[in-house]
Structure 1
């Protein structure tokens, strides 16, 4: 069986150099928006870890998701009340936001340590907001994501920018990632 390859890309197209506004890093859209297919996809030459998860049941509305490994997890899933669900479980956006916040915090701490400023990140906090909504492009069906990452406790824009460049979640959303969908 041959895998079908899908590409995960951010909802907005290409981003370029950062400019600093107030207390954080903002990404500015390019002046000319080339085709979103013009950029390459980040691929892996090897892997150092993999996580395995299974979703079953009714999916987003009353389903169950399990993660296996050193510390197995299991969550009941549900749509948020505001989206028509009962709000009696987790939703994928919450789990994504939690993973992103954790990864970005680790990246901040590593980049601060590499800059010889380890103490800057010791009490840092990372806040994420994951927005689920309809794409502006009327030709796209379904929903899309927008993510805001807030960094609390670090004012060094260079460390924040380095963390954004290093964070796995940031890379996946800004550079794309390889996704293979296969029948099992």
Structure 2
């Protein structure tokens, strides 16, 4: 098999990377009605289109799960720097919408960050810091509509 490499840098912000900490490698076959398997075997999941019958998940749910987990990690890092103790029952409820208009398909996100018992001022500061540092937030910034709601 002959491989050709295409590197897209036009209209893209290129960030200089000093060290790669982890590479997640997943092979998907069959698209939205297929399967996804990671190279380390830890992910092996059936995919189905949103709203379709079947036992699989879909890319929107996977993005929501990944972003939520990463956002919680970013909140913990930010809270330590700020000297804020986060509640043990915190959660992030993320919705990823597959939407369309005359120009085609798009994604949009709504993150509901739940920090029970934390004073609203502290909660907002932690969430703002997390949104500024979370790699998923950085990757989507300026590319999709994102709403973040803080619940205490």
Do both proteins adopt the same fold according to a TM-score greater than 0.5, normalized to the shorter chain? yes
How far apart in 2 are the matches of 1:121 and 1:164?
A: 18
How far apart in 1 are the matches of 2:16 and 2:142?
A: 13
Give the aligned partner of residue 77 of structure 1: 47
Aligned residue for 2:83, secondary structure, equals coil
Cα deviation per residue 1:2-51 (whole Å; 9 max; x = unaligned)? 314278xxxxxxxxxxxxxxxxxxxxxxxxxxxxx6xx625242311111
Cα deviation per residue 1:87-127 (whole Å; 9 max; x = unaligned)? 4311000111000000001111111111011x224331111
Deviation at 1:64, TM superposition (A): 0.7
Q: Which runs of 4+ in 1 moved over 3 A?
A: none
How far apart in 2 are the matches of 1:115 and 1:170?
A: 20
Give the aligned partner of residue 5 of structure 2: 2
How far apart in 1 are the matches of 2:50 and 2:65?
A: 16
Aligned residues: 134
Q: Any gaps of 5 or more consecutive residues in structure 1?
A: 8-36, 177-184
Cα deviation per residue 1:99-157 (whole Å; 9 max; x = unaligned)? 0000001111111111011x22433111101000104xx3x33x110001111014321
1:174 aligns with 2:136: no
8 Å CA contact 1:41, 1:175 repeated in 2: no
Q: Any gaps of 5 or more consecutive residues in structure 2?
A: 144-152
Q: What is the alpha-carbon root mean square deviation over aligned residues? A: 2.2
Give the aligned partner of residue 60 of structure 1: 32
Aligned residue for 1:51, secondary structure, equals coil
